[in-house]
C-alpha cells in the first residue's frame, strides 16, 4: 500500500476540493482516501489517482 501512496503527488492533493461542497479534503492514510467532512464522503485513490466522482465516493457513517 505504501507504494501506491507514494505515487500521489502532494501538490495535487493540496489543489483538489470536494466536487459536491467545493470544500477542503483531508487525506486518510489508513484507508487511502480523501475525506470531505462537510459532505461526509470518502473519495478513493486508486493506483495513485484520486477518483473525484460523487458516484464513486463512500458515504461516511457517524
pLDDT by residue (tens digit) across 5-42? 546 778 888 899 999 999 999 999 999 999 999 999 99
Average of per-residue pLDDT across 38-50: 94
Does position 4 have pLDDT exceeding 80, yes or no?
Answer: no
Cell of 20: 459536491
What is the structure's pLDDT at 6? Answer: 47
Amino acid at each position: 500500500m505504501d507504494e501506491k501512496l507514494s505515487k500521489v503527488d502532494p501538490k495535487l492533493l493540496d489543489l483538489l476540493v470536494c466536487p459536491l461542497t467545493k470544500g477542503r479534503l483531508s487525506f486518510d492514510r489508513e484507508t487511502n482516501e480523501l475525506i470531505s467532512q462537510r459532505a461526509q464522503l470518502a473519495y478513493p485513490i486508486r493506483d495513485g489517482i484520486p477518483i473525484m466522482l460523487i458516484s464513486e465516493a463512500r458515504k461516511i457513517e457517524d
